[in-house]
Chains A and B, each alone.
Chain A
Amino acid sequence: MAVLTPVSRTPASFYASVVAAFGAFAGLLVGTAQGSGLIGLILGAVVMGAAAYLMAEVLGKEKTSRYGLALLMALGGFFIGGLVAAVIGALFGLFFGWLTFWLYEGRYRAKVAPYLTPGQVLWHYTFRVICGAIFIFLITPILVVMPLSFNAEDFFTFTPEMLRFDPDGYSLKHYRDFFTNSDWQNAVQNSIRIAPVATLLSVGFGTLAAIGLSQPHVPFRRAIMAILISPMIVPLIISAAGMYFFYSRIGLQGTYLGVVLAHAALGIPFVIITVTATLVGFDNSLTRAAANMGANPVTTFFRVQMPLILPGVISGGLFAFITSFDEVVVVLFVGSAGQKTLPWQMFTGLREQISPTILAVATILVFISICLLTVVELLRRRSERLRGMSPG
């Protein structure tokens, strides 16, 4: 972005105190880890405030002082806690060096509009920090899992070897366990056998229902829609218990077909909702035109309507697939051990033996989900581009 506002240097009272505030925060973190938060807080504020003043007013040379600070803090970290602390110290040093000169040179003002008051500038950056914090909050649990899945020990613990980046602390044994253990492999097979069939059923029924319910002449449309969507709204445990007793009476409990049907029922609402949304933009004169040219309703559906609503159908199908693939409550009730799916295996694994194999599986699943979503998004863009719906 271009420079919007001319910048000027700021007084020491401003930048030194802001850097000192950040230093206090960092010092609090380090100090708590070392035993005393209060000492860390005070020390951090004093040291970083003084460092900022020294770098800006006394040394003056930006590059030298920034890298000098990083080096000094890396050394300091090394004396407190070895190699890892040195890396953390260097990162802190780089950050504080950048922060000092960013504030001192007034660069923070450059990319915001000139008419903003100081309060608005502050909010501008606070808002970005909050967004970043929320992002980190959401993503950290997933990221923490990944290195732990390479743990050489059988616990959910960062061992000292791992923290020292010692190769002995890492291993692929949990991945090996996943690919060789018959329990896990059975679970994968069951999931792969159940999810696609349940998805096909949901997509088939859901699409038909959505098309039917979008016709204006169908009686009780709202009521039917509400009933069909209810599996999504009713608490899962209630549906699951209901299905358990109902399926037991008719002999479906504990069978493959029973789990597939239960998952199909859970997936149908997603398909109905996405397809209904796509149908809103569907031009009904197209079907009339097709009928006018002698096509019967089935041909019209497959050759005219279906291709146009396909993006909705596919994304609905994807949701249905993930619902079935991720589902643990209903399968615990409706399934028996012969239909043990991947989430079920993970659930019992977590409860009975806390083994990092679960983390290895989670990591693999995260990558599969990312690939799946990327592929679908690319396909969707491609089809939109082909039909000229979006300029991209």
Chain B
Amino acid sequence: MKLTKTLLATSALTIAAGMVHADAHMADEMTIVSWGGAYSNSQQKAYHDPYMEKTGVKIINDESSAEAVSKLRAMKEAGNVTWDVVDVVASDALRLCDEGLAMEIDPDEMLAEGDDGSSASDDFGDLLVGDCFIPQIVYSTTVGYRTDLVGDTPPTDICAIFDTETYPGKRALEKRPIGNMEWALLCDGVDKEEIYDVLETEEGQQQALDKLATIKDDVIWWSAGADTPQLLADGEVIMGSTYNGRLFSLIEEQDQPVAMMWDAQVFDLDGWIIPTGLSEERQARALDYVRFATDTQRLADQAKYISYGPARKSSAPLVGKHAELGIEMAPHMPTDPENAKNTFLYNYEFWADYRDDIDAKFQAWLAQ
């Protein structure tokens, strides 16, 4: 009997303790959604930690950006939006904006002025795509290669991907058409200016797929940003595309025998959106956070931890050295003139119109 009583008492206590603990937690928290890994780390150090110190709000990280669109749809359906600020790529922001899932932003009113006195809309300039997107960084998808596996002539041209004679071995490419189709056409002799005109046509799409088919047996298709660094570190592939920040960490922080091939890197933007359907109090807090996190100094601070370029023009001169390694970050930015000789900018308009169609063709081609 004594044992039973003890058991019952502990059970009751455990449950009670759990509930009390849970209730105390709810007040003054905000959930910020991002990509995880080194990227979330850089945001934690550059934005979250100073913001928590300044305001006393507790920030919870949710690493769900990869499925942000579908999750926000489900939340709206269920009438219970649990996210306060969401980090998404620009194309997802455009979709969320069109569907009314993201709040419209007036940059000059809601965002901080640049440190140099320029208005927010001038400071961000062209990067303010869509009505809901608050730009944060410029990143690029580019190719890294194993310096010890490519022989005496390291590749400098994007077409090395398609040159299996000079560079035999597996390559890692992203499991989606964006970027790959452009590279394929470029290496099939299409003029860079005409690529999107060609890609609009059935024949053009087929031409790109045919070019990709020449290396299909040599490609490992990746879907998560961590895949290519792991494959390169293993020596499983001799070159592969991934985000430039991942390659930076692989080369500088992990000391792997890998080098960057900046040629034909595809620029893309990443930034914040604020979901619609928040209570007034939460929306005000989210706006306050975004205003703080996208000011000139904060954006420049982030570049201390990861090699993505700040979205404000006024932040560029403030970019300093890496916080732990002490190396200058400017030459590692995708936007550095040395690295940006030949670049693509993610073509939002084109892919908004053709993405579903080409995606379906690409996936069908993959399955063949």
Contact = CB atoms under 8 A, between A and B. Distances in A.
B78 A351 contact: no
**Interface range for A:** 35 or more
Nearest to A241: B74
Q: Which of A153, A245, A260, A351 has the most CB of B within 10 A?
A: A351
A248 B78 contact: yes
Contacts of A254: 80, 82
Contact of A337 (B62, B74, B80, B233): B62
A348 B64 CA distance: 8
A334 to B, nearest CB: 11
Given A244-B74, A302-B4, A352-B225, A155 B233 contact: yes
Nearest to A257: B22
A336 B1 contact: no
Contacts of A352: 35-37, 63, 66, 224-226
Interface string A334-360: 001110100000001101111000000
12 contacts: A155-B230, A155-B233, A200-B14, A245-B77, A248-B78, A253-B80, A256-B22, A336-B62, A336-B82, A348-B63, A351-B226, A352-B224
A156 interface: yes
Interface in A136-164: 153-157
Interface in B16-54: 18-19, 21-22, 25-26, 29, 31, 33, 35-38
Nearest to A332: B64
Interface residues of B, number: 40
Contacts of A197: 14-15, 18
A336 B74 CA distance: 13
B284 interface: no
Nearest to A303: B1
Contacts of A9: none
B226 A338 contact: no
A385 interface: no
Interface of B: 1, 4, 11, 14-15, 18-19, 21-22, 25-26, 29, 31, 33, 35-38, 60-64, 66, 74-75, 77-80, 82, 224-227, 229-230, 233-234, 254
A255 interface: yes
Given A248-B80, A251-B80, A352-B226, 12 more contacts: A153-B233, A197-B14, A200-B15, A248-B79, A254-B80, A255-B22, A303-B1, A337-B62, A352-B66, A352-B224, A352-B225, A353-B37
A222 interface: no
Contacts of B227: 354
A326 interface: no
A62 interface: no
Contacts of B1: 302-303
A23 interface: no
Contacts of B77: 245
A195 to B, nearest CB: 11
A81 to B, nearest CB: 17
Contact of A336 (B31, B66, B224, B230): B31
Contacts of A348: 36, 63-64
Contacts of A338: 25, 29, 31, 60
Interface string A176-193: 000000010000000001
Contact of B25 (A201, A249, A256): A256
Sorted nearest first, the 9 A-B pairs with minimum C-beta distance are: A256-B22, A337-B62, A352-B36, A248-B78, A353-B37, A248-B80, A155-B233, A348-B63, A254-B82
A156 B230 CA distance: 7
Contacts of B224: 351-352
Interface string A76-92: 00000000000000000
A211 interface: no
Contact of B38 (A245, A337, A353): A353
Contacts of A269: none
A260 B15 CA distance: 10
B80 A193 contact: no
A249 B78 contact: yes
A197 B11 CA distance: 8
A306 interface: yes
Contacts of B62: 336-337, 340
Interface in A269-290: none
Contacts of B82: 253-254, 336
A207 B45 CA distance: 49
Contacts of B31: 336-338
A197 B1 CA distance: 22
A348 B67 CA distance: 12
Contact of B61 (A183, A244, A248, A302): A183
B233 A157 contact: yes
A156 B254 CA distance: 13
A306 B4 contact: yes
A13 B62 CA distance: 68
Interface centre among A193, A201, A352, by most chain B C-beta atoms within 10 angstroms, is A352
A353 B14 contact: no
A267 interface: no
Contacts of B19: 256-257
B61 A337 contact: yes
A196 interface: yes
B3 to A, nearest CB: 9
A96 B332 CA distance: 56
Contacts of B37: 352-353
Contacts of A157: 230, 233-234
Given A197-B15, A257-B22, A336-B62, A155 B234 contact: yes
B305 to A, nearest CB: 14
A109 to B, nearest CB: 47
A337 B61 CA distance: 6
A302 B5 CA distance: 10
A190 to B, nearest CB: 10
Nearest to B226: A354
Contacts of A349: 36
A193 B21 contact: yes
A201 to B, nearest CB: 8
